[in-house]
Amino acid sequence: MTDSVFTRIIRREIPAAIVYEDEQVIAFMDAGQINPGHVLVATRRQVETVMELDEVEAAHLFAVATRIARAVQAEFRPTGMTLLQTNKPDGWQTVPHVHVHVLPRHADDGVGLVWPRKDPPLADLQALAARIQL
Protein backbone atom coordinates (compact mmCIF):
# COMPACT_ATOMS: atom_id res chain seq x y z
CA MET A 1 0.00 0.00 0.00
CA THR A 2 1.32 3.45 -0.91
CA ASP A 3 1.70 5.86 1.99
CA SER A 4 -1.41 7.96 2.44
CA VAL A 5 -1.37 11.71 2.88
CA PHE A 6 -2.23 11.05 6.56
CA THR A 7 0.84 8.82 6.99
CA ARG A 8 2.92 11.62 5.51
CA ILE A 9 1.37 14.05 8.03
CA ILE A 10 2.18 11.64 10.86
CA ARG A 11 5.81 11.51 9.70
CA ARG A 12 5.80 15.34 9.47
CA GLU A 13 6.52 15.25 5.74
CA ILE A 14 3.43 17.39 5.17
CA PRO A 15 2.57 20.24 7.55
CA ALA A 16 -0.73 20.09 9.40
CA ALA A 17 -2.55 21.88 12.21
CA ILE A 18 -2.42 19.07 14.78
CA VAL A 19 -5.03 19.10 17.54
CA TYR A 20 -4.10 15.89 19.38
CA GLU A 21 -1.91 12.82 19.05
CA ASP A 22 -0.99 9.77 21.05
CA GLU A 23 0.56 6.39 20.28
CA GLN A 24 -2.51 5.21 18.31
CA VAL A 25 -4.18 8.21 16.69
CA ILE A 26 -3.61 11.72 15.39
CA ALA A 27 -6.18 14.51 15.04
CA PHE A 28 -5.69 17.51 12.79
CA MET A 29 -7.71 20.22 11.12
CA ASP A 30 -9.17 19.16 7.79
CA ALA A 31 -7.46 21.26 5.10
CA GLY A 32 -10.84 21.46 3.36
CA GLN A 33 -12.69 22.96 6.40
CA ILE A 34 -16.39 22.49 5.67
CA ASN A 35 -17.09 24.63 8.74
CA PRO A 36 -14.61 26.12 11.24
CA GLY A 37 -13.52 23.37 13.63
CA HIS A 38 -13.66 20.48 11.10
CA VAL A 39 -11.17 17.91 12.45
CA LEU A 40 -10.00 14.55 11.13
CA VAL A 41 -9.08 11.82 13.62
CA ALA A 42 -6.93 9.13 11.96
CA THR A 43 -5.17 6.00 13.12
CA ARG A 44 -1.39 6.21 13.18
CA ARG A 45 -1.29 2.73 11.69
CA GLN A 46 -2.23 2.97 8.04
CA VAL A 47 -5.08 0.65 7.21
CA GLU A 48 -7.77 1.44 4.68
CA THR A 49 -11.01 0.55 6.46
CA VAL A 50 -12.46 0.38 9.94
CA MET A 51 -13.05 -3.33 9.38
CA GLU A 52 -9.27 -3.84 9.54
CA LEU A 53 -9.01 -2.43 13.07
CA ASP A 54 -9.23 -4.63 16.12
CA GLU A 55 -11.84 -3.69 18.72
CA VAL A 56 -9.33 -1.89 20.95
CA GLU A 57 -8.08 0.27 18.07
CA ALA A 58 -11.62 1.06 16.91
CA ALA A 59 -12.73 1.93 20.44
CA HIS A 60 -9.78 4.26 20.92
CA LEU A 61 -10.36 5.97 17.56
CA PHE A 62 -13.98 6.72 18.43
CA ALA A 63 -13.16 7.66 22.03
CA VAL A 64 -10.73 10.30 20.79
CA ALA A 65 -13.21 11.45 18.12
CA THR A 66 -15.77 11.94 20.90
CA ARG A 67 -13.29 13.95 22.99
CA ILE A 68 -12.48 16.11 19.96
CA ALA A 69 -16.20 16.59 19.27
CA ARG A 70 -16.70 17.86 22.83
CA ALA A 71 -13.83 20.33 22.41
CA VAL A 72 -15.18 21.53 19.05
CA GLN A 73 -18.65 21.92 20.57
CA ALA A 74 -17.29 23.96 23.49
CA GLU A 75 -15.15 26.25 21.33
CA PHE A 76 -17.17 26.75 18.14
CA ARG A 77 -20.72 26.30 19.50
CA PRO A 78 -22.21 24.65 16.40
CA THR A 79 -25.92 23.90 16.44
CA GLY A 80 -25.20 20.32 15.33
CA MET A 81 -22.33 17.86 14.97
CA THR A 82 -21.69 15.10 12.43
CA LEU A 83 -19.18 12.34 13.12
CA LEU A 84 -18.61 10.55 9.83
CA GLN A 85 -16.49 7.47 9.13
CA THR A 86 -16.47 6.16 5.55
CA ASN A 87 -14.97 3.07 3.92
CA LYS A 88 -13.84 2.51 0.33
CA PRO A 89 -14.70 4.79 -2.60
CA ASP A 90 -18.27 3.51 -2.94
CA GLY A 91 -18.72 4.33 0.75
CA TRP A 92 -17.50 7.93 0.13
CA GLN A 93 -13.94 7.35 1.42
CA THR A 94 -11.50 9.67 -0.36
CA VAL A 95 -8.28 8.90 1.56
CA PRO A 96 -7.43 5.18 1.95
CA HIS A 97 -6.56 5.55 5.64
CA VAL A 98 -9.06 5.03 8.47
CA HIS A 99 -10.33 8.32 9.85
CA VAL A 100 -13.33 9.99 11.42
CA HIS A 101 -14.57 13.44 10.42
CA VAL A 102 -15.61 15.59 13.37
CA LEU A 103 -17.73 18.13 11.54
CA PRO A 104 -19.43 21.00 13.34
CA ARG A 105 -22.74 21.79 11.67
CA HIS A 106 -25.00 24.81 11.32
CA ALA A 107 -28.44 25.24 9.77
CA ASP A 108 -28.17 25.95 6.05
CA ASP A 109 -24.41 25.25 5.92
CA GLY A 110 -24.78 23.53 2.56
CA VAL A 111 -23.61 20.13 3.76
CA GLY A 112 -25.77 17.27 2.52
CA LEU A 113 -26.02 13.62 3.35
CA VAL A 114 -28.91 12.12 1.43
CA TRP A 115 -29.93 8.59 0.54
CA PRO A 116 -33.21 7.14 -0.70
CA ARG A 117 -35.24 5.31 1.93
CA LYS A 118 -36.40 1.89 0.84
CA ASP A 119 -38.73 1.06 3.80
CA PRO A 120 -38.74 -2.74 3.47
CA PRO A 121 -41.29 -4.74 5.46
CA LEU A 122 -40.31 -5.92 8.96
CA ALA A 123 -40.00 -9.54 7.77
CA ASP A 124 -37.35 -8.48 5.25
CA LEU A 125 -35.50 -6.53 7.96
CA GLN A 126 -35.59 -9.57 10.24
CA ALA A 127 -34.20 -11.79 7.46
CA LEU A 128 -31.37 -9.32 6.89
CA ALA A 129 -30.66 -9.16 10.62
CA ALA A 130 -30.48 -12.97 10.83
CA ARG A 131 -27.67 -12.94 8.25
CA ILE A 132 -25.38 -10.84 10.44
CA GLN A 133 -26.29 -11.89 13.99
CA LEU A 134 -23.24 -11.78 16.24
Q: What three-state secondary structure class fits 10?
A: helix
User: Per the residue annotation, which of 38, 60, 97, 99 is the catalytic one?
Assistant: 99
Cβ partners under 8 Å of residue 61, min gap 6: 24, 25, 41, 43, 50, 53, 98, 100
| Nearest partner of 29 among 102, 109, 134, judged by Cα | 102
Active site residue 99: yes
- Give the residue numbers marked as catalytic: 99
